[in-house]
Structure formats: structure tokens, C-alpha cells
């Protein structure tokens, strides 16, 4: 089999080439640079030289990869080029960079590469400026002509492009990405920062020419640019990385996997490993979330070390992790990595005075043998992982022969995407009634998949698939748009309702979700207070601080926030106080049994009392009998939904029912439709 040149070999070859050419350029500038500094305006050249050196030693950088940084010295070095010429700027920045790197004890190869990279970037800028005007020292003259201004812009652009290509290529090679895609991302993220730093250079020259001491006044605007860039980069980092483990998150993992599949040659294979911890829940429940977080951090660090330079490890969510292995030589190659990973994860973990035995199950799928696209390969790796978990065998390689029962339960991600595009996803709505009046004042939107082969597929069958395949955003967008359009139609018909919409953990932590909600509200002219977003309690407890931030953003839009499935996730009083929620929904597992099980009745009673103390509305779902309705009414529950009121119905069937039930009634007059025989449809 023809295999790609390994990542380390590619990087070594590239870094060596850049270093050799760059150092040669720096040495060539040595004598000319020294003469240029002596010939230039002495005070200006000295001030700028000191500024370059101090900036590199202080090392306030805009780092976007291990290969190189854009530092504050960029402004002063470009100013030195404009005032003294190319050679002095190359000489000073290269020497300052080497001194700074050595003092920080960076590897020699890294130091040499940085010097070479700067020499080539500044050299390119000087060549462009000289070719247009005859001299790179554009600001050495008292006045700048139009042609000189154009040359200045061209020189700055050349510096930016060469520097971006040199460092971006290292990033692409390290992470096995398309160089073009990395450069496109760099242009989007870093162009403004580069532009501002380089645009400050002429001002630096002018100020230094008047009085070199005034350069100190430019420190504040330069630092402001620095802080703005750092904030922007941290935000970008958080959008693509898991805050707890610092590993790439699901979004970045799927992007990288898609890149690997595009780059794979006709005879190359890519392996996907899905890893699930076996006994993490027991540790989390017994020792608390703080200990669980520490376990996840240690697992993340182990996977990062196991991945090395050739693979990518990520946290998909909860206690589920994944790895992508490019250029593997068949299943045996992937199994060797799987065994190494499992050896680390099955070894006891020692935290403080505790020794924890967590264990893990791992599934392997290969491209193109087990799928030709991201969704299918991910699905098959997931299937293999569950087979490994069921067999307690550590790992499994996907096998179609062992998959027939899973194919009946898990439909194809490609089918799910087509379902969203072709109108196979539909919404049913279940009424919510006020327990004091019996009046129906809201509905919950519940998504269904009208599958052409399997019939009506309930959400618990395909929502996990959507989350694993990165399609939950497509489903959420459909639900929001369809539910709000229907709500507006009901409002036009004189039916003033609230609509409740379930939000998955991935949607909640997607930075684009609040904007998606706001756009949908605007598109359908629906008042924000008529929308309730329900987030599962387990989602809140997985990352309470992050959940609080996102919930606060959504509350600021004006929507009502509710905690769904309350009672199953062990939410603490402290976490409830931190969240700007208005509603608790008691999990139907407790409501269904409260008439016959004292423990369930206690949970329901406690939740209603808790809601009253915190000023929250309490909704009971799973109300299936008049007896349960009466018990809830005595306890002071605010709202109820369940088959006792109505099963979920499509809008065209529910609308006439609503016209008959949007009037005050007694609890004995609540209209009910025949119960469905399938309870999971709720």
C-alpha cells in the first residue's frame, strides 16, 4: 500500500527548508543592515531597535500555532523597514527573535525557524516596496507620494501573506489539514489584527521622528489591539474546544475528519475510534461532579498523549471521546492504537487518596471500507463501540455481519439529512393545561420522523443519531422554524398559546444558537415570551457555569427557560439559583408512579415545593389519569400535560381541539382524546 509521508517527516522537511532559506536571507542582510542602521536617522533607528527587542523579550503575542507568533514587534520592525530599509529591519527582528526565544528556552529548531520566517516575511515586504519605488525606506523622505503610499500598502500585504503562508503551512501539516483551508481561516481570523498592527507602523515612524520618547504613548493603543486580538482568539478557541479537557470538541473533530477523508488517496485508509467510559457514571454519582471532572481531565490528557502528532483526539460530550487516525494500514494498524488507548484507560486512576477503576469500550470504523462519508463512518464506529460495551470485550472493529439489529434501530445519517430537506420531519404538539382552571394555555412541540421505510420514528430513536453525526443543528433549526410558524398561524386564528421546544446539549452550547432563536422569532413575528426552551437537567449539571452563561443569553432575548426531566440529574439548589430559569418540568417517570409509589410521590411533592420556594412554575408531564391530576392539583402544581389531556397530535388535528379547549373549565371537564398505546411517543 502507498502511504503518505508521515506527519513528523513532512513537518521536519518543511521547517528545515524554511529555516535554511530564511537564515541565509538573515545572514545576507547582516552587513547591509549594520550599515543601514548607521546611515539612518540615529534617534529613530535606535528607538525602533529598542522597541523591537523589548517587544520580543516581553513576548506579548498573538499566537495561533506552535510554529510561530505574531508579536507586538511586528509594528516596530515594519516601522524600521519603512524608515531605515529592508536589511536593518531583517537584521534587528531576527536577532531580537533569537534572543527572546533563547531566553524562553525554546527548542533550537523553533528558534531558527522563527528567525527564518521573519527574515523571509520582512524580506518579501522590502522587495515589493523597492520594486515599486526603488527604496524600501519609504518614510525616510519628508513626504510620501501616491506611489509611495501604494508601495507601503503592497509591502504590508506582502509581509502578511508570506508570514501567514509560512506559519499556516506548519499548522496544516501538524494537524493534517488542507493548507488552503487553514490559510482561508487565517485570513478570516487574523487579517484585521495584522492590518491594524502594520497600519500603526507609519505613525510610529512619525512619532519617533518628532521625539523618540513619545513612542511610549503608542503603547496603550498597541496593547488595546493585542487584548482585542487575544479575546477574539480565545472566543474562537472556545467555540472549537472542550472547556474542561481542552481537547477539540465535536464540531472541530467532524471538520478535521471531513478534511482527512477529502485528503485520503485512493489506497489510503482513515480510522475513527469512538471511546466511551464504562463506569464513569458510578464515579460521578458516588463522588460528585467535581471528581468526575477531574477524571475526564485525566482521560483527556491520556488521549492527547496517545494521539501524538499523527492522530487527533477529541471529547464529543459527556464521557464520550473520539480519535481520528489518518493513513492507517488496515484494521490491524487501528487495533494497535486502540489497544494502546485502552491500556491507558483501563489502568487505575489515582486522585488524591482514591484509586478509581473506570474502564472503557472502544469502537473502530475504517474509511472507505465501512463508509464513504463522515456521518456513516461515525455511525459505524459508534455501533462498534456499543457492541464492545455489550460484549465487555474492550474494543470491536465494525462488521456489517454483526449489525442487522442495529440497522433496524439506527437509521443512516444521510437519510436523516435528506429527511430534513424532503419534508419527512414533522411536528406533533401536546397541550399543556393550567391546573387551576383546566384551560389549555400552551403546547410542547415534539419532532417525529416520517420514515418512508420504518414509518413514524420517535425522537429517542433519531435524536442521538443526529447528535453523533453533527446534524442536531439541522433538526433544531427545523423545529424552531416550524413551531414558530405554526404558533403565528394559531395567533392569527385567535389562539394565544405558548410553545415549548426541547433543546439538546449540543444546541445549548452552540454559540450560534441564541442568534438562531432570535432570527426565527423575527422571521415569524412571534413575541419572545410566547416561547419556552426546555433544557434537560442532565445538560445543566454537566457544565453548570457554561449552561448559566448560555441560558442568560437566551433569557436576555426574552424567551422563557425551563429545566426538563427534573429529578433525574441531581441538580443542586446552588445550581438552580445560578440559572435564570422560570419553569421546572417533573420527569414523567415520577408522575406516572406517584399514585402507587410513595417514593415517586415524595419526589413530585418536593419538586413542587422547591419550585414554589424559588418562584418557579412547575409542570408535570406524564399525567395519564384523573387520580394523578387530582393529586397534583392538591399539591399546587401549576401545569400538566399527558394522555389524560391529549396525546401529541399534528397541527391540523390539534387546531379544532384547541378551539374547543381554550376556555376555562373545571378539572372534570378537561377534554381527552383516546390514549395511544405507545407511551414513548410523548
Q: Say which residues have a Cβ less than 8 Å from residue 208's Cβ, sequence separation at least 6.
A: 43, 44, 47, 48, 79, 83, 214, 215
Sign of CA dihedral 69, 44, 225, 223: positive
Q: How far apart are CA 506 and CA 495, in angstroms?
A: 32
292-310 confidence digits (pLDDT tens) = 888 898 888 888 888 776 7
Amino acid 535: pLDDT? 86
Is residue 32's pLDDT more than 50? yes
> Is 642 in contact with 634 (CB distance < 8 Å)?
no
Four-residue CA torsion sign, 508, 513, 516, 521 = positive
Residue 393: pLDDT band (50, 70, 90) is: confident
Pairing state of beta strands 395-397 and 455-457? unpaired
Instruction: Name which of 101-105, 231-235, 373-377, 399-403 the model is least confident about.
Output: 231-235
pLDDT at position 680 over 50: no
Q: Give the range among 61-70, 215-224, 270-279, 461-470 with minimum mean pLDDT.
A: 61-70
Domain spans, the chain = 7-240, 250-409, 413-658
Q: Three-class SS of residue 223?
A: helix
User: CB-based burial of residue 321 (10 Å sphere; 0-12 exposed, 13-18 middle, 19+ buried)?
Assistant: buried
Can you tell me the distance from the alpha carbon of 115 to that of 25, in angstroms, rounded to the nearest whole number? 10
pLDDT tens, residue by residue, 138-155: 887 777 788 888 989 999
Residue 66: pLDDT band (50, 70, 90) is: very low
Percentage of the chain beyond pLDDT 70 is 80
Tell me, what's the pLDDT at 67? 39
pLDDT band at 48 (very low <50, low <70, confident <90, very high): confident
491 band by pLDDT with thresholds 50, 70 and 90: very high
Most confident of 41-55, 121-135, 238-252: 121-135
In this prediction the pTM is 0.47
The predicted pLDDT at position 411 comes to 59
The pLDDT value recorded for residue 1 is 32
Q: 188 falls in which pLDDT band (50, 70, 90)?
A: low
Sign (positive/negative) of CA torsion 464, 469, 474, 476?
positive
Distance CA 543, CA 296 (A): 12
Q: How distant is the alpha carbon of residue 93 from its chain centre?
A: 36
Mean pLDDT is lowest, of 525-534, 553-562, 586-595, for: 586-595
- pLDDT at 342 exceeding the cut of 60: yes
User: Strand runs (DSSP E) across 522-670, as ranges?
Assistant: 531-536, 560-566, 583-586, 617-621, 639-641, 649-650
**Beta-carbon count within 10 A of 53 CB:** 19
Beta bridge partners of 272: 324, 365
Q: Would the pLDDT of 552 be above 90? A: no
Q: For residues 549 and 578, what is the distance between their CA atoms, to the nearest angstrom?
A: 10
Distance of CA 50 to the CA centre of its chain: 41
Q: Evaluate if residue 275 carries a pLDDT over 90.
A: yes
Question: What pLDDT shows up at residue 611?
Answer: 87
250-409: in CATH 3.30.70.270: yes
- Check: CB of residue 571 under 8 Å from CB of residue 545: no
What does the alpha-carbon distance between residue 414 and residue 321 come to, in Å, rounded to a whole number? 22
User: Which residues pair with residue 502 across a beta bridge?
Assistant: 534
Would residue 470 be called left, alpha or beta, if left means φ above 0 and alpha means ψ between -120 and 50 degrees?
Answer: left
Written as one string, the DSSP assignment of 57-87 is HHT-B---BTTB--BTHHHHHHHHHHHH-HH
Helix (H, G, I), strand (E, B) or coil at 293: helix
Residues 404-431: what's their mean pLDDT?
74
Q: Give the right CATH number for 413-658 from 3.20.20.450, 3.30.420.40, 3.10.580.10, 3.30.565.10.
A: 3.20.20.450
Task: Give the pLDDT score at 226.
Answer: 63
pLDDT in the model for residue 672 = 41
Above 60 in pLDDT, residue 407? Answer: no
Fold: same for 250-409 and 413-658: no
Task: Quickly count: other Cβ atoms within 10 Å of residue 105's Cβ.
Answer: 7
Question: With 50 as the cut, is the pLDDT of residue 4 above it?
Answer: no
230 vs 117, which has greater pLDDT? 117
d(CA 358, CA 609): 37
Measure the CA–CA gap between 174 and 356, rounded to whole angstroms: 34
User: What is the mean pLDDT of the segment spanning 250-261?
Assistant: 87
Residue 412's pLDDT band, with cuts at 50, 70 and 90, is low
Per-residue pLDDT tens for 520-543? 999 999 999 999 999 887 766 666
Three cell numbers, residue 85:
530599509
Q: What is the mean pLDDT of the chain?
A: 80
- Specify the pLDDT at position 676: 34
Radius of gyration of the chain (CA): 31
User: What is the rounded distance in angstroms from the CA atom of residue 442 to the CA atom of residue 256?
Assistant: 42
pLDDT classification of 327: cutoffs 50, 70, 90 = confident
Q: Give DSSP secondary structure letters for 522-564.
A: HHHT--GGGEEEEEEHHHHHHSHHHHHHHHHHHHHHT-EEEEE
**Low-confidence winner among 7-16, 19-28, 124-133, 177-186 (lowest mean pLDDT):** 177-186
Asked if pLDDT for residue 259 goes beyond 80, the answer is: yes
Rank 205-209, 449-453, 461-465, 558-562 by mean pLDDT and report only the highest.
558-562
Whether 658 has a pLDDT exceeding 60, the answer reads yes
Confidence of residue 3 (pLDDT cuts 50, 70, 90): very low
Tens digit of pLDDT for each residue in 196-233? Answer: 778 888 888 888 777 766 766 666 776 676 666 666 66
Residue 58 pLDDT exceeds 70:
no
Provide the residue count of the chain: 682
Query: Could you tell me if 482 and 520 are in contact, meaning their C-beta atoms sit under 8 angstroms apart?
Result: no
42-58 and 73-84 helices, crossing angle to 10°: 160
Instruction: Give the confidence band of 447 by pLDDT, cuts at 50, 70, 90.
Output: very high
Question: Would you state the cell numbers that stand for residue 432, as one nine-digit string?
Answer: 399543556
Check residue 61 and give its pLDDT: 47
pLDDT surpassing 60 at residue 129:
yes
**Interatomic CA distance for residues 29 and 513, integer angstroms:** 52
pLDDT at residue number 7:
52
The answer to whether the CB of 398 falls within 8 A of the CB of 379 is: no
Amino acid at each position: 500500500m502507498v502511504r503518505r509521508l508521515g506527519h513528523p517527516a513532512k513537518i521536519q522537511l518543511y521547517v528545515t527548508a524554511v529555516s535554511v532559506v530564511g537564515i541565509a536571507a538573515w545572514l545576507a542582510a547582516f552587513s547591509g543592515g549594520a550599515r543601514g542602521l548607521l546611515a539612518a536617522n540615529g534617534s529613530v533607528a535606535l528607538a525602533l531597535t529598542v522597541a523591537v527587542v523589548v517587544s520580543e523579550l516581553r513576548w506579548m503575542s498573538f499566537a495561533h500555532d506552535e510554529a510561530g507568533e505574531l508579536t507586538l514587534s511586528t509594528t516596530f520592525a515594519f516601522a524600521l523597514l519603512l524608515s531605515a530599509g529592508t536589511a536593518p529591519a531583517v537584521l534587528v527582528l531576527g536577532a531580537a527573535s533569537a534572543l527572546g526565544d533563547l531566553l524562553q528556552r525554546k527548542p533550537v529548531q523553533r528558534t531558527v525557524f522563527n528567525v527564518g520566517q521573519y527574515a523571509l516575511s520582512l524580506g518579501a515586504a522590502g522587495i515589493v516596496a523597492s520594486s515599486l519605488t526603488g527604496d524600501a525606506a519609504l518614510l525616510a523622505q519628508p513626504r510620501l507620494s501616491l506611489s509611495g503610499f501604494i508601495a507601503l500598502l503592497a509591502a504590508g500585504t506582502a509581509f502578511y501573506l508570506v508570514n501567514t503562508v509560512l506559519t499556516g503551512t506548519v499548522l496544516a501539516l501538524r494537524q493534517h489539514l488542507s493548507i488552503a483551508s487553514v490559510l482561508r481561516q487565517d485570513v478570516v481570523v487574523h487579517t484585521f489584527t495584522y492590518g491594524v498592527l502594520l497600519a500603526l507602523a507609519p505613525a510610529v515612524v512619525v512619532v519617533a521622528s518628532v521625539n523618540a520618547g513619545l513612542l511610549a504613548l503608542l503603547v496603550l493603543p498597541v496593547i488595546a489591539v493585542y487584548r482585542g486580538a487575544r479575546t477574539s482568539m480565545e472566543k474562537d478557541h472556545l467555540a472549537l474546544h472542550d472547556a474542561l479537557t481542552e481537547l477539540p470538541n465535536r464540531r472541530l473533530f467532524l471538520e478535521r475528519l471531513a478534511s482527512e477523508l477529502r485528503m485520503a488517496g485512493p489506497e489510503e485508509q482513515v480510522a475513527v475510534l469512538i471511546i466511551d467510559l464504562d463506569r464513569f457514571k458510578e464515579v460521578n454519582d458516588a463522588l460528585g461532579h467535581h471528581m468526575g471532572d477531574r477524571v475526564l481531565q485525566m482521560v483527556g490528557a491520556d488521549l492527547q498523549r496517545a494521539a501524538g502528532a499523527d492522530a487527533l483526539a477529541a471529547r464529543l460530550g459527556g464521557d464520550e471521546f473520539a480519535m481520528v487516525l489518518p493513513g492507517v494500514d488496515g484494521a490491524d494498524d487501528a487495533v494497535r492504537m486502540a489497544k494502546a488507548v485502552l491500556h491507558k484507560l483501563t489502568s487505575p486512576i489515582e486522585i488524591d487518596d482514591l484509586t478509581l477503576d473506570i474502564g472503557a469500550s472502544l469502537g473502530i470504523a475504517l474509511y472507505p471500507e465501512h463508509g464513504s462519508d463522515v456521518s456513516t463512518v461515525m455511525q459505524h464506529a459508534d455501533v462498534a463501540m456499543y457492541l464492545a460495551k455489550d460484549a465487555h470485550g474492550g474494543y470491536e472493529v465494525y462488521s456489517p455481519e454483526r449489525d442487522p439489529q442495529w440497522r433496524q434501530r439506527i437509521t443512516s445519517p444521510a437519510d436523516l439529512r435528506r429527511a430534513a430537506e424532503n419534508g419527512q420531519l414533522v411536528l406533533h404538539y401536546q397541550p399543556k393545561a393550567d391546573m387551576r382552571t383546566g384551560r389549555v394555555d400552551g403546547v410542547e412541540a415534539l419532532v417525529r420522523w416520517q420514515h418512508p421505510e420504518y414509518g413514524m420514528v420517535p425522537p429517542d430513536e433519531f435524536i442521538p443519531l443526529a447528535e453523533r453525526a453533527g446534524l442536531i443543528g439541522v433538526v433544531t433549526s427545523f423545529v424552531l422554524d416550524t413551531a414558530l410558524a405554526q404558533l403565528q398561524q394559531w395567533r392569527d386564528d385567535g389562539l394565544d398559546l405558548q410553545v415549548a421546544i426541547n433543546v439538546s446539549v449540543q444546541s445549548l452550547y452552540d454559540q450560534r444558537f441564541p442568534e438562531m432563536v432570535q432570527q426565527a422569532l423575527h422571521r415569524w413575528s412571534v413575541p419572545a415570551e410566547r416561547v419556552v426552551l426546555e433544557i434537560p437537567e442532565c445538560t445543566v449539571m454537566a457544565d453548570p457555569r457554561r449552561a448559566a452563561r448560555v441560558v442568560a443569553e437566551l433569557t436576555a432575548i426574552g424567551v422563557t427557560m425551563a429545566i426538563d426531566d427534573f429529578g433525574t440529574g441531581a441538580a443542586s439548589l446552588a445550581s438552580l439559583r445560578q440559572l435564570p430559569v422560570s419553569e421546572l418540568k417533573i420527569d414523567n417517570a415520577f408522575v406516572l408512579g406517584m399514585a402507587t409509589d410513595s417514593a415517586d410521590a415524595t419526589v413530585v411533592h418536593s419538586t413542587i415545593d422547591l419550585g414554589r420556594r424559588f418562584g418557579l412554575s412547575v409542570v408535570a408531564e406524564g399525567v395519564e389519569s384523573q387520580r394523578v391530576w387530582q393529586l397534583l392539583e392538591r399539591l399546587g402544581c401549576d401545569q400538566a400535560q399527558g394522555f389524560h389531556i391529549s396525546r401529541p397530535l399534528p397541527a391540523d388535528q390539534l387546531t379544532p381541539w384547541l378551539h374547543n379547549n381554550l376556555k376555562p373549565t373545571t378539572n372534570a371537564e378537561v377534554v381527552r382524546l383516546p390514549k395511544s398505546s405507545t407511551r414513548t411517543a410523548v
